[in-house]
Structure 1
Amino acid sequence: PLVPGTAQASTPVILDDITNPDEPWFEHHKQFIDQGADFFKQDGSNQVLEHPDRMWGNGMCDAEMHNLYPLLYSRQMYEGFKEYTNRRPLIFTPDGWAGLQRYSGTWAGDTGGGPKSLIASLNLAFTGHTYTTCDMSITSAEGIHFGFLQPWSQVNSFGTWDHPWLLGDKLTNTFRYYDHLRYSLLPYLYSYAYEAYKTGLPILRPMALEYQEDSNTYSLLNQYLLGREILVGAFTNKVYLPAGRWIDYWCGDEYEGPGNIECAYPDNRGGLLFVRAGAIIPMLEPMDYIGQRPWDRIILNIYEGEDSDFTLYEDDGISFGYEHGESAITTIRTIRKDREAFIDIAKRNGRYRDMPENRDFVINIRTAHQPERILESGMELAGTESWSYDPGRRLLSINAKDCANGKHITIKYAEE
């Protein structure tokens, strides 16, 4: 290797003079972890540069190690942090090779937070890579929309003043809205993270991955699914809707697929957002940070449609106890039959450290049908504190308390 910008630029530098060959790279990070650092960003830098004059310690030349080195680098960071802290590592990198998803998340490198970054995430999704993101572009509502609706989100201000409180009132409010929306979606996103862990299916899904029989999805580069229930349009006002009924998240308008549509989104939002009819989306009240409040009250947003189910997953979010069964799942099912609808919340199965002992659900059902009676495990619910219906918003809200051991809700609709 050469040292550019010096009088000795043509003089080789022995690598052993600037590294400690007997010390694993992770050892360098322990001092920062001891000071409270939890998150490490591994810049591309020398990971991807050619080093034709380098001989590696394992006897390989640079050509042999070029693709292997980024993989081993992330593996060492992952295993080193795990062994040193007994906590889950949080590292991300723009470089890697097959198998990287076991150790590190990725960001799209120095490509900004626009359409190019989305294409990178779509490509990575097809390789089984789950935790993808970009350097969020917060100087436009479109960049904020895309940046927050990804498997994970980050704002990179290493060389610019990309701070939301410097954006002016309008963009700051947009940033705040999406920030709250993302934290509200944590139970939904975390459940899909568990599915990715078990199956390899990514959280951010190209349309062609979910709708493989529909050739119209094969070339879609400005939209994707976040989980299975939410369709995100990014940097466009046109999307293709696969077969089925889809609800505009912003205004409640309904569309029937398959087909292309063009529509507007609110001035204080940054893109199109749709929900699949029949979807069950568990959410929280907005939080400022993870752990601010326990997950003892879940908001179930149910979009009336075909019979559906959702598996809500939870664990302590910190340790590796989940590898040994320290976790819990709750299965939620909806069934519609004639003038009745049934919501079955199964008994929570499992246990983990600091798990909330009780669990309440606020069930919000998007329906145009006027309810007549609500029964909870056979007992009729009465009073506005138990349930209410707003015909203008087409929203039925039910307060279901003490659901850790399960709950069965029956909705009887009035004749139309």
Structure 2
Amino acid sequence: MRMCSNPASITFQTASGFSICVVPVASHTFHIRVNRTGLFEAPSPLTRLGIAAPPTSPVNWHTEYVGDALHVITDEAVLRLDRQTGSASLYDKSENLLTRQTKPPYGGGADGFGAQFALSDYERLYGLGDQYDVPLMKRGHTLSISLRSNRVHAPVPLLLSSNGWALLVDTDIEHEFDVGRSSPDELWFHGRRGELAYYLIAGGTLAELLGKHARLIGPSAMLPLWAYGLSFICNQQTTARDMIEDALKFRREGIPCDMIGLEPTWMDRPFDYEAPVRWHPEKFYIPQWMPEGAHTFMGALRTMGFKLSLGLYLPESPRPGTGTGSDDIGPSWYDYLEPFVAQGVQGFKLSTSVPVQEQVHLPAAEEDEEAESALTIAGAIGKIIQEGYAKQTGKRPIVYTPVGYIGVHKYAAMWSGGRRQPHLSVLGLGLSGIPNMSVDMNLHNPAGIHFGFFQPWSKVNSWAYWRHPLLLDADLLALFKTYAKLRYRLLPYIYSAASVSARTGLPIARAMPLAYPDDAAAVPLQNQYMFGDELLVAVFTDQVYLPDGEWIDYWTGDKYAGPAHITYRTPPQAGGPLFVRAGAIIPMWPDVEHAGQRPADRMELHLYPGSDRQYSFYEDDGGSLGYLSGESAETSIVCTQERGGYRVEIGPRIGHFRDMPEHRDWNVFIHTRDKPASVKVNGESWREAAGARKDPAPSHWSFNRRAGLIRLSIHEAAAGSPRPARMEMMYSAEKETRRSEPQPARYGGKPGKTSGELEKELEIGLETGDEAKALSALEQWWEVRAAGDRSPEDIREHWLYLNGLFVRSVERKGRTLGDVLGEDPSHRFQPGPDAGAGQAYEALEQMAKSIVEYDNKQRGRTNEIVRRATDIIVRELDQELSLQAVADRLHLNSSYLSRRFKKEIGMSFSDYVLEKKMELAKELLLIGTTVNATADRTGFKEASYFIRVFRKYWGVTPGEMKP
């Protein structure tokens, strides 16, 4: 047995001659290396490059031998290795199997390196960086960890599993992942040369795995506070005069913005990292006798509150001996940037000389086996700029790059040009440990603006085009202003989320599997995400799923109860759905034009009663590196929903940072439609201000019923005070009595739909076994049709009508209502002369529950994948439904879905879709719907084709079917 150079390690040789070295680097993480020589002295690639840090404290571990198996045991995990083959199995501390290798790993020989792992039936895998047009869930795909194809921004060799384990390949060599594509039940990765080295991380949710990864690789950089605002990149032909005019347009129009950026055309010659450059003498002329001061174009930008970033081209892909490999880049070339930083430059935009292509397919570059890897160059450049800038100024810059690799998050933010599904880039990198990602905003439609402002950082990039917001039409300009102002008001909330990201790896924009890992309805959704703790954003869709709890539409104030699937109608003042979680605590700034325009001694606190919540508001000076040594402050805010009231406690700030305001006032906005009977602050009763004044006088509160807002201003507790500032809001006894009366349970959905729309939702809920959807639609239908003072005859008519709907629903599945309801006495209710609407409704609600329960039992152990597929089919019969499209939405291989579908349903996918479309068509025609409308409602683009299909299926034409 030979030891690695690391004393906290163990090695052994397999029967096939491979040497394996294992190092427990943390109680949950193992580092494994495989080669032919048995020599492991040199650091592995990620350690050599400074990306992964060696363990700073010893790990408590021991080994046990069980036959041919070697067990490496820590406090949190067990790694079992077959000493004959080298294959590894990973277990959590309770000895639950997390993953296992299905073939012996190999590395260091002519075959390169690789390993293969088993995948369980319902295992979902995320990560691998920003891969063009690939869904968040990577199972069923083959992905290249390479920049050669010119279609990948940031390939990251990190995979997170829903089964509670993670894999990080420790290499700077290009390689490939097959995530259940060739074989649905296996994951493998392979590189053409080099030693095999990788980390296995055990235990936890996706969010917890990201946290363990962050501790292994290092936290992400905190951008300057202003960088989380809005950045604008000028056209590449811009001159100093054009740039100043662009900046003035923002200020004249009152659009907040912080950074103005220049493309690499600002310089007198291409920057080659080997010689100094200067400002372009014609485009950016600076008098040599007065090169600095407020009179220069940089001084004019500073006067307006703008920060300047400069574009630099990254080195070309390195070749041996060129001195441009990531190992060869030295910090000395930062000297060329020092004069510009001295003049006031605060950021650097890294670009590729040939733009990363999004919308076109380019042939992959011919691979050169001798070429050095370009994967780590962007991270190396970012590190040199960040460290050089910090040494020169004591502050943090923003460095943003279009390409990157594992570890780039420690030094740079990421950016991307326009993409067909830009949100997948943001969410995919967030699931890969790179949280600060921005995709160029599409200004020319409301949905693009909506998404553009709900990214970790926001950027408008003109590049070769003219994308200034003032060139938009009046409606889009007004929308852009709305979102820009909202973004800046939310900066304290966003910056607090950024601090969480830096500490834990949890990104600002959190994909639903991160935010709701235990909600089966939320996990597969790609077009919505949580933005911080409190805001749910949906993009490029009108279909929104609201998880359990109460949600408030930010744009309208309407309330919804989750879990619920809703079809969202975006109001004119918005570009997409935005919901606030009930109980939310959101710190905000007042309106500003740029970060730092106003002192932070008066802020807003927006509260949304509905559940108990605790929030930690984070602050630092927003620009220096002091936060790394603890120069920051946090304010604890606790909101409690009590019987008959609502309590808010704002604690004193804990901590200190440079220029921290000595005192702070909070303008508190409580979003509620219920007017309180009394309000107390720190035990003192405050008076209601006359009218709904915007800023009530001291010791007063105001209520605006129309806006649903309570306003008041509270002084924060003094530093060191043992007691928080406290606000108590109490309702009257009459109000409390009314609120405590039994009400029908609300399951979600928004009032205002027609009874016909609600009937369709009810049928879909019954068909798919979605009890929440069915009961929500039933309740709303009953409110629409049977609300108010109805006669017993009306009640009975509505009750019979819904019985008919229930009969049709169960008969479509070959059953009778008697089969479903059985002998339960509660189903024998018949509305009589004395029966009220409440009794009738309760009977219908019980019937609906019984139908759903019966169907779900009949499904038995029907595959969840198939259930979700049939759910999509039934919901979207008005669309063209292909096997491939549905498989993509479920993140599955189409052949795998086809096999599962045939096994569980007993018919092919296409036959099932046709059956459902033809059943719906028959129903529509029998109630008098026109042939053209029926064709449209069942997803046929041409009525003539629909007629042929209908006749072949039913034996009669649609016209003959109509009554």
**TM norm structure 1:** 0.88
Cα distance between partner residues in 1 of 2:670 and 2:650: 14
- 1:185-216 deviations in whole A, cap 9, x for unaligned? 01101111111111111001001101001122
Counterparts of 1:72 and 1:193 in 2: how far apart (Å)? 23
Aligned residues: 393
- Could you say what secondary structure the match of 2:440 adopts? coil
Distance 2:351 2:371 in 1: 19
How far apart are the structure 2 equivalents of 1:215 and 1:340?
34
The code of the aligned residue for 1:180 comes to K
Aligned pair partner of 1:173 in 468, 473, 478: 478
Q: How does 1:62-81 map to 2 (within 5 A)?
A: 62-63=371-372, 65-81=373-389
How far residue 171 of structure 1 moved from its aligned partner, in angstroms, is 1.4
Taking the aligned partners of 2:716 and 2:443, their CA distance within structure 1 comes to: 41
Are 1:155 and 1:162, in contact at CA under 8 Å, matched by a contact in 2? Answer: yes
- Of 689, 712, 715, which residue of structure 2 is paired with 1:398? 712
Instruction: Quote the residue 1:242 is aligned against.
Output: 547
Match of 1:224 in 2: 529
Change (3 A) 1:298 1:22: closer
2:514 matches 1:209: yes
Amino acid of the structure 2 residue aligned with 1:182 = R
Give the structure-2-normalised TM-score.
0.39
Is the Cα contact below 8 Å between 2:426 and 2:455 reproduced in 1? no
Cα distance, 1:34 vs structure 2:
2.4
Matched, 1:156 2:464: no
Q: CA RMSD in A?
A: 2.5
Match of 1:348 in 2: 653
Match in the other structure for 1:84: 392
Give the corresponding residue for 1:306.
611
Higher relative contact order (CA 8 A, sep 6+): 1
Tell me, yes or no, if the aligned pair for 2:546 and 2:565 is still in contact at 8 Å: yes
1:409 counterpart letter in structure 2: M
Q: 1:257 aligns to what SS in structure 2? A: strand
Select 2:340's aligned residue among 22, 28, 32.
32
The match for 1:408 is 726
**Counterpart amino acid of 2:671?**
R
Alpha-carbon distance change, 166 to 337 in structure 1, aligned in 2, over 3 angstroms: same
Pairwise CA distance, 1:103: 0.8
* Partner AA of 1:283 in structure 2: M
State the distance in 1 between where 2:322 and 2:502 align: 39
> How far off is 1:51 after superposition?
9.1
Are 2:652 and 2:716, in contact at CA under 8 Å, matched by a contact in 1?
no
Unpaired runs of 5+ in structure 2? Answer: 1-318, 357-363, 690-696, 736-963
2:640 corresponds to 1:335:
yes
Q: Offset of 1:277 from its aligned partner?
A: 0.6
The change in CA–CA distance for 1:21 and 1:366 in structure 2 (over 3 A counts) is closer
Cα contact 1:38–1:90 (8 A) shared by 2 = yes
Q: Separation in 1 of the partners of 2:579 and 2:412?
A: 30
Change (3 A) 1:297 1:22: closer
* 1:128 aligns with one of 424, 430, 433: 433
Give the aligned residue type for 1:412: M
- How far did residue 22 of structure 1 move? 7.2
Structure 1, 387-396 or 325-334: larger mean CA deviation: 387-396
Q: 1:21 to 1:392 in 2, by over 3 A?
A: closer
SS of equivalent to 1:331: strand
CA distance in 2, matches of 1:264, 1:358: 43
**2:791 aligned partner:** none
2:329/2:380 contact within 8 Å kept: no
Q: Is the 8 A contact 1:141 1:268 kept in 2?
A: no
Contact preservation (8 Å) 1:47, 1:70: no
Give me the whole-angstrom Cα distance separating, in 1, the residues matched to 2:637 and 2:420.
36
Q: Which amino acid aligns with 1:277?
A: A
Contact 2:588 2:603 in 1 (8 A): yes
**Counterpart pick for 1:283 among 581, 588, 600:** 588
| Displacement of 1:168 | 2.3
Following the alignment from structure 1 to structure 2, what is the Cα–Cα distance between the partners of residues 220 and 261? Answer: 13
Distance in 2 (alpha carbons) for counterparts of 1:273 and 1:208: 19
Q: How far apart are the structure 2 equivalents of 1:315 and 1:36?
A: 22
Q: Given the alignment, which residue of 646, 663, 681 partners 1:376?
A: 681
Measure how far apart 1:145 and its partner are. 1.0
Q: Residue by residue, what CA displacement relative to the aligned partner does 1:348-382 show, whole Å, maximum 9, x if unpaired? A: 11111111111111111122322111111111112
Number of the residue aligned with 1:269: 574
* CA drift at 1:70: 2.5
Corresponding residue for 2:403? 95
Q: CA separation of 1:290/1:148 partners in 2, compared to 1, >3 Å: closer, same or farther?
A: same
Overall identity of the aligned pairs, in %: 38
| 2:679 match: secondary structure | strand
> 5 Å matches for 1:316-331?
316-331=621-636
Matched letter for residue 726 of structure 2: H
User: In the alignment, what sits opposite 1:9?
Assistant: none
Is 1:105 the counterpart of 2:105? The answer is no
Q: Cα offset for 1:287?
A: 0.7
| CA distance in 2: counterparts of 1:16 and 1:402, whole angstroms | 57
Does residue 255 of the first structure (1) align with residue 560 of the second (2)?
yes
1:295 alignment counterpart = 600
Output the amino acid matched with 1:401. Answer: H
Find the aligned partners of 1:66 and 1:306 in 2 and give their Cα distance.
50
Paired with 1:68 and 1:151, the residues of 2 have a C-alpha distance of 23
Change (3 A) 1:21 1:175: closer
Counterpart amino acid of 1:78? Q
Determine the C-alpha separation between the residues in 2 that align with 1:80 and 1:16. Answer: 20
Deviation string, structure 1 residues 314-361 (Cα, Å, up to 9, x no partner)? 111011111122111100001121112210000111111111111111
Gaps of 5+ in 1: 1-11, 55-60
